[in-house]
Structure 1
Amino acid sequence: MKEITRRQFIATATLATGFALAVQPISAKVITTDAKGLIAGEVKIPVKDGKIPAYRAMPATGKNFPIVLVIQEIFGVHEHIQDICRRFAKLGYLAIAPEMFVRQGDVSKLNSIEEIRPIVAKVPDAQVMSDLDATVGWAVKSAKGNGDRLGITGFCWGGRITWLYAAYNPKVKAGVAWYGRLVGDTTKLTPKHPVDIASELKVPVLGLYGGKDTGIPLDTVEKMRDRLKLSSSKSEIVVYPDAPHAFFADYRPSYREKEAKDGWQRLQAWFKQHGV
């Protein structure tokens, strides 16, 4: 994608319909949440270089809704992430999931994780933070959101971003990070990782991790826990001993119903406890 066509590209980009190709076939346990009583669908968020697509779900009546940013996995804002937004809306939240990879490519149309990873690797953390700021601004200005009751949650790739945005934006009341990587290489695009910001973190973040996650070694989870003890955030990490990576992803074989339900309950309690 040439730089000169970037604005053109993001102006015409739209969200995925259905599930990303790379996650087929879809599990029989997939959860489907209807949009009854909700306003739900794609919106466009004004950002520095154009507009990016996002999925927004909120109650059809009322105003001043608490805002939850829902941050995608590497598969983009496909049906699973959209469904999570509707679940939040049913609880009274304005939930919004901006498409974070739109400038780099449409991952929903790719057939494998191997094809997706190079695109995701090109996404700068600074761009993500800026886009999330713009999303919060849009939610307050255009969608009846209450900026004083802001929460964030994310899955896998989005779990890492949850930690980072909570450190970046002190207006966040609380975050819940689902199995997001905690360590990594320091690069120009990814200058810091959750373990690097843990000791200075002020926003309370709940981390939900799987003991059988082959991509996130438990020693990195323990390192994060130790660093968090130095912070004033009162953040916590829960490890489900028998859960693999992506245990909340009900459309995938990795789904673990017991741990997923427990995590969802913990998320709701965490948000309530901290004013989201």
Structure 2
Amino acid sequence: MNRIPDADFNSLLPPLQLNRRGFMVTALATGFTLAAGPLNAETIIRTDTEGLTAGDIMIPVGDGEIPGYRAMPAGKTNVPVILVVQEIFGVHEYIKDVCRRFAKQGYMAIAPELYARQGDPSKYTEIPKLFAEVVSKVPDAQVLSDLDASAKWAGSNGGNTQDIGITGFCWGGRIVWLYTAHNPNVKAGVAWYGRLVGDSTELTPKHPVDIAASLNGPVLGLYGGKDAGIPPDTIKAMEAALAKGNTASKASKFIVYPDAPHAFHADYRPSYREEAAKAGWQEALNWFNNNLK
């Protein structure tokens, strides 16, 4: 999969969102998205900003600007970059905190709001409605282009974009695989429980299993053995596709935590599993440290 130039982006989308609807979100939500359900307050990880430059940003894209969140070591330049891709709930406090966690480890972490044109996830209280009215209308072409724009912003604001990392959760986990095949500067990815197979549609023409053989950097897949939405046979299919690919594809691997459900890293939700989450986080840091630094 090739990088999509900004000038060609609109031509790849069906004739709806951009010109008619414009940008639905111009600022990030505060707190946690309501649709995620009751907060698991006792397990929420809160990372401070001491020693960091952190906060909301605006990222220029082909048709305007989208909001995002950036965290990086204060006063540093030429910092390795990790793109952080949201769950279906958008860029809310959990994703911002993940950015700060990476920044504490010496990275510039950027999380763009990838639903900015389709709707505001923070306004929804029900997952099915959020998915139907916002998430299902987001084209992969838009996402890949916005991530390109985010990487470009990083390069102009103290980040080293020659070697990029990308991580994402749930919906974002699927995007990690796609973007790692899309951008030749991506040297490592960590996909947290992202779906690997699916139907080909106008908005989602390819899925991870379709591009597995052509990754630009190795991807670490962190998955739960009790994730009802991602059957073991789909992981096996992805492993087989990776084994037939290039060097980066063959270097990719999965770690499956047998007792973990979907969203086991989401510390603000009942699905959180501390042991698997902490083990996965350390694996992710090791993966990026070995491939980006």
Normalization by structure 2: what TM-score?
Answer: 0.90
* 1:134-213 alignment runs, 5 A limit: 134-141=149-156, 143-213=157-227
SS at match of 1:126: helix
SS at match of 1:274: helix
Pairwise CA RMSD of aligned residues? 1.3
| Cα distance in structure 2, aligned partners of 1:105 and 1:68 | 25
Comparing 193-202 with 14-23, which one deviates more in the overlay? 193-202
> Which position in structure 2 is the counterpart of 1:239?
256
| Residues 1:255 and 2:272 aligned together | yes
1:39 positional shift: 1.1
Quickly say closer, same or farther: Cα 1:48–1:166, change in 2 above 3 A: same
1:24 positional shift: 3.4
Deviating runs (4+, > 6 A) in structure 1?
none
| Residues 1:113 and 2:130 aligned together | no
> Which position in structure 1 is the counterpart of 2:95?
81
Output the amino acid matched with 2:291. Answer: H
| Cα distance in structure 1, aligned partners of 2:208 and 2:96 | 25
Output the amino acid matched with 1:271. Answer: F
1:6 positional shift: 3.5
| Cα distance in structure 2, aligned partners of 1:2 and 1:99 | 16
User: Could you tell me which of 133, 146, 164 is aligned with 1:131?
Assistant: 146
| Cα distance in structure 2, aligned partners of 1:5 and 1:191 | 23
Alignment check: 8 A CA contact 2:43 2:268 kept: yes
| Cα distance in structure 2, aligned partners of 1:47 and 1:137 | 10
1:16 positional shift: 0.6
Residues 65-120 of structure 1, C-alpha deviations (whole Å, 9 max, x = no match): 10000000000000000000000111111100000001000011100101111110
> Which position in structure 2 is the counterpart of 1:267?
284
Output the amino acid matched with 1:79. Answer: E
Output the amino acid matched with 1:171. Answer: N
| Cα distance in structure 2, aligned partners of 1:86 and 1:145 | 15
Quickly say closer, same or farther: Cα 1:177–1:2, change in 2 above 3 A: closer
1:202 positional shift: 3.5
Alignment check: 8 A CA contact 2:82 2:165 kept: yes
> Which position in structure 1 is the counterpart of 2:28?
15
Quickly say closer, same or farther: Cα 1:134–1:30, change in 2 above 3 A: same
Normalization by structure 1: what TM-score?
Answer: 0.96
| Cα distance in structure 2, aligned partners of 1:226 and 1:4 | 41
1:61 positional shift: 1.7
Query: How many aligned residue pairs are there?
Result: 273
User: Could you tell me which of 206, 210, 217 is aligned with 2:231?
Assistant: 217
1:215 positional shift: 0.5
> Which position in structure 2 is the counterpart of 1:35?
49
Residues 129-154 of structure 1, C-alpha deviations (whole Å, 9 max, x = no match): 1000000001101x200012310000
Alignment check: 8 A CA contact 1:200 1:230 kept: no
Alignment check: 8 A CA contact 2:71 2:103 kept: yes
Alignment check: 8 A CA contact 2:187 2:216 kept: no
| Cα distance in structure 2, aligned partners of 1:3 and 1:123 | 11
1:2 positional shift: 7.0
> Which position in structure 1 is the counterpart of 2:3?
none
| Cα distance in structure 2, aligned partners of 1:73 and 1:190 | 17
Output the amino acid matched with 1:137. Answer: K
Alignment check: 8 A CA contact 1:23 1:252 kept: yes
1:200 positional shift: 2.3
| Cα distance in structure 1, aligned partners of 2:57 and 2:20 | 21
Output the amino acid matched with 2:97. Answer: D
| Cα distance in structure 2, aligned partners of 1:26 and 1:254 | 11
SS at match of 1:18: coil
Identity %: 61
SS at match of 2:186: coil
Q: Gaps spanning 5+ residues in structure 1: where?
A: none
SS at match of 1:186: coil
> Which position in structure 1 is the counterpart of 2:115?
101
